[in-house]
Amino acid sequence: MRMLKRQSHAWDTETIDIDLKTETLLGKGKIICAFVFCGQDLDFGLFIDNFGQNKGLINIFQDYLEDYNQKKIWHNYGFDRHILYNHNINVQGFGGVTMHMARLLAQYPLEYSLSVITKNLQVQIQQNKKEYLIQNMKNLQAKIEETQNILEINQNDEAFKDLEFYKICLKKLEKNQKYFTEQNHKDDIKKLFGQKKKLKN
């Protein structure tokens, strides 16, 4: 993640042991898991399981989260910062808040939760994903052709390894194109933990 320091990283957390209707965040609530997306250079996000036997795993990222120079984007910065502080992590490197960005982008009648914003912008999000995938596949095709031309002139192991790597990446994108553009990852998490299951530490 530090190798991708030139860009902001998007973070989101899921919590337990707090009733937001009756309790304040101060000293209440624990992180059960967190999600990180480091940008379009990568075709995957990072899922951090901080529950059960993995309790305390989030603290591995303490130095990173407290790094002022690494910008991080949150959906609800005040909430996440309080929750992480309960794990003795003093978050630095503020990069933005998507909830407030959404208020500037459009007005939604009910709420500004991440799920509602995603639903309202679903068409645009899907289109952006498709455009990104198409462009990424074109870039890989160009790299494959370029590397093949190099190998025709000069056979070397490094170029051959690059060619195989590009082919694997392209095959992966082609195989998973439907998944990346249509799958609702939020549903995956709900299925993993159970929609109505009460989690206890």
At 76 the pLDDT is 87
- What tokens were used for 40? 């379009």
At 195 the pLDDT is 46
Asked if residues 100 and 84 have their Cβ atoms less than 8 Å apart, the reply is: no
At 198 the pLDDT is 47
71 Cβ contact partners less than 8 Å away, ≥ 6 residues apart: 7, 8, 9, 93, 94, 95, 96
Reported as a single tens digit per residue, the pLDDT across 117-170 is: 777 777 777 777 778 778 878 888 888 888 888 888 887 788 888 888 778 777
Does residue 183 register a pLDDT over 60?
Answer: no
At 42 the pLDDT is 63
Does residue 43 register a pLDDT over 70?
Answer: no
At 50 the pLDDT is 93
At 149 the pLDDT is 85
- What is the residue extent of each domain of the chain? 9-105, 114-198
At 21 the pLDDT is 79
pLDDT above 90: percentage of residues in the chain:
25
Q: Is 9-105 in CATH node 3.30.420.10?
A: yes
Does residue 174 register a pLDDT over 50?
Answer: yes
45 Cβ contact partners less than 8 Å away, ≥ 6 residues apart: 35, 36, 37, 38, 185
Average pLDDT of the chain is 78
CA distance 169 to 162: 11
pLDDT above 70: percentage of residues in the chain:
77
Reported as a single tens digit per residue, the pLDDT across 74-124 is: 988 989 999 999 999 999 999 998 887 777 776 655 566 777 777 777 777
DSSP β-ladder status, 72-74 and 9-16: parallel
Does residue 179 register a pLDDT over 70?
Answer: no
Nearest to 95 by CA among 77, 115, 118: 77
Asked if residues 12 and 114 have their Cβ atoms less than 8 Å apart, the reply is: yes
**pTM for this predicted structure:** 0.60
